[in-house]
Amino acid sequence: MLDACGLESAEALFRHLPGEVRIKRPLALDPGISEYDIVDYFRARAAENATGYASFLGAGVYAHYRPVMVDTVVLRGEFLTSYTPYQAEISQGTLTTIFEFQTMICQLTGMDVANASMYDGSTAVPEAAMMAVRVTGRDRVLVARTVHPEYREVLRTYALHQGMPVDDFEYQSDSGSLDLEDLDRKLDDHTAAVIVQTPNFFGVVENIRSVAEIAHRRGALLIVIFTEAVALGLLAPPADADIVAGELQSFAISPSYGGPYAGVIATKEKFIRQMPGRLVGETRDSRGNRAFCLTLATREQHIRREKATSNICTNQALIALMATVFMSVYGKQGLRELAEQNLAKAHYLSGKLKPRFTGPFFNEFAAVTNGRSPNDINQALLKKKIVGGLPLAGWYPELENSVLLCATEMTRRERMDEVAQAFSPVREQEQVQV
Amino acid sequence: MTYPEELRYTKEHEWVLAEGDVGTVGITWHAQKELGDIVYVDLPKPGTRVEQGKSLGSVESVKAVSDIYSPVSGEVIETNETLSQSPEKLNEDPHGAAWLVKIRMSAPDEMKGLLAAAAYQTYVGAET
């Protein structure tokens, strides 16, 4: 075979690869072993990966159960292998699932129209902000410090070359919710949008109606962000918002080291022509049957060129489909029960700790550490196969010794008790003496 | 198609009717015919300042979106609200009921550089 390729050795096949990426020793495998033995060997190596850990991390990515139905559907070849349908209307199956996705997102958010999905929650935020700039003809946005810090970084990256000033406003140090007085002070007639998140980065549920009133009084739009979609199963839809932008990772999308996820933007019908992203509509075919089509494509880059609403020309079809199947499996009642379990578990945990804020929360909250350093607590927890909460001081220097903890339907009571114990220095000493 | 004598035209297929210092602006019959069924009209808010030759809005049909270039400079004082609910009127009566905006002209002399009906007719060629 090497002769046919005109090569003198197998080594020559790999000569084009840079030396530093090559393994220069023989593989640590016995030569001449069977395929069965090789598979066996790698299964054993895979089993050495750390498993069986309980995680109390939330902060934008949540450990929720993925019903087996999700992969059963999304791994079907018809969905798994197809890209954005260029000849869209021939892919009625794909368009049907996207239409279902949009419909369910509207029901959850209280908006009139939702797009076919965005790359993820963080990129949906600047897209929503730029949409508000187009709608209002203003240029500045005001963003709450309780919006996920990484989302705010992404917003600033987009804003840098958009001529879109981005300013923060504060939270109340006792409740952890929006400081509406600070918002009112910083709002001006150049402000296109006020951006808030609920539940916010500290897990605190915001009063959307009151912030909407303040924003609308000055002619600004209200953009409501969500990172924990499961909360929508229990909380009132943020219907006072003008634009809702969020992350759907909680809906059966595996954490996977940070992606791929799926975001979404939903809005009121009157703003639809300024909305970015693809949109599937319902129509009738030539025989009068219900059918689906891509609609309002004139907003998009392939038609409107530099005047398009966004440079997004696609959606996260497969990942969004996971969310669609998830929403279908749980249904309205199931999602509510799931949200109630999250609420109950997080409140069980908070009852054993000292919450940092007094505001109402859903499934995550900040707890203070009684003087122990958050890192010490997390190191101790790791030994018990527990991944502790997120120390907040990295993003919020004023919140030293505060840890953001999350409990979901997956969190077991015994593990929560262990976390509570690690937070309590007295009990820890007793243990050592025993 | 016979283009009304009282209007002045641009090569970008807008028309303007001057009455005192107010110019009423629309798109031509030729423009609507080329665009096809019009589904949406995006117009500036009253108070917006516009410049001759610069975009003042856009017209969207089932096949394309086209900029509307302002034939004169000035300030938008009124927009045709009926078009937001009934954009198809642009296909029915582009030189009359489906006017787009009224502009208080800051440089009425700009009118002199626009095409008369016969010249525009020649520019777009014979049409049916």
pLDDT tens digit sequence for A325-347? 999 999 999 999 999 999 999 99
Q: How far is B103 from chain A (nearest CA, A)?
A: 19
Can you tell me the mean pLDDT for A8-12? 88
Can you tell me the mean pLDDT for A220-238? 97
**pLDDT above 70: percentage of residues in chain A:** 97
Chain B residues with CB under 8 Å of A137 CB are 45
Instruction: Nearest by CB to B40, from A137, A273, A303: name it.
Output: A273
The residue of chain A with its CA nearest to that of B45 is A137
B23-102 belongs to which CATH class? mainly beta
Q: How confident is the model at residue A425 (pLDDT cuts 50, 70, 90)?
A: low
Can you tell me the mean pLDDT for B18-36? 95
Helix (H) or strand (E) holding B23: strand B22-27
- Tell me whether residues A298 and B64 touch, CB distance under 8 A: yes
**pLDDT above 90: percentage of residues in chain A:** 79
Q: What is the pLDDT of residue A84?
A: 63
Find all residues with CB under 8 Å of B41, minimum gap 6, and list them: B57, B58, B59, B60, B83, B84, B87, B90, B100
A68-326 belongs to which CATH class? alpha beta
Q: How far is B66 from chain A (nearest CA, A)?
A: 9
Can you tell me the mean pLDDT for A265-283? 94
The sheet that has A390-391: what strands, in order across it? Answer: A354-355, A364-368, A402-406, A390-391
CA A219 to CA A103: how far, in whole Å? 29
Can you tell me the mean pLDDT for A71-87? 84
- Tell me whether residues B40 and A137 touch, CB distance under 8 A: no
Q: Is the pLDDT of residue B19 over 70?
A: yes
Q: Decide the pairing of beta strands B22-27 and B101-105.
A: antiparallel
Q: How confident is the model at residue B128 (pLDDT cuts 50, 70, 90)?
A: low
Q: Is the pLDDT of residue A426 over 80?
A: no
**pLDDT above 90: percentage of residues in chain B:** 86
Q: How confident is the model at residue B1 (pLDDT cuts 50, 70, 90)?
A: confident
Q: What is the pLDDT of residue A275?
A: 94
ipTM: 0.72
A54-64+331-433 belongs to which CATH class? alpha beta
Chain A residues with CB under 8 Å of B67 CB are 307
Size of interface A-B (CB pairs under 8 A): 13
Q: Is the pLDDT of residue A235 over 60?
A: yes
Q: How far is B11 from chain A (nearest CA, A)?
A: 21
CA B96 to CA B114: how far, in whole Å? 19
Closest residue by Cα to residue A206 from A172, A165, A229, A182: A172
Domain layout of chain B by residue ranges = 23-102
Domain layout of chain A by residue ranges = 2-40, 54-64+331-433, 68-326
CA A263 to CA A249: how far, in whole Å? 8
Residue A27 or A242, more confident: A242
Fold: same for A54-64+331-433 and A68-326: no
Chain B residues with CB under 8 Å of A303 CB are 64-65
Distances (CA, A) of A262 to A120, A122, A161, A247, B106: 4, 10, 25, 6, 50
| A137 shares contact with chain B (CB less than 8 Å) | yes
Q: How confident is the model at residue B127 (pLDDT cuts 50, 70, 90)?
A: low
Q: How far is A338 from chain B (nearest CA, A)?
A: 43
Q: What is the pLDDT of residue A88?
A: 82
Can you tell me the mean pLDDT for B91-103? 96
Residue type, A140: R
pTM of the model: 0.86
Can you tell me the mean pLDDT for A173-188? 97
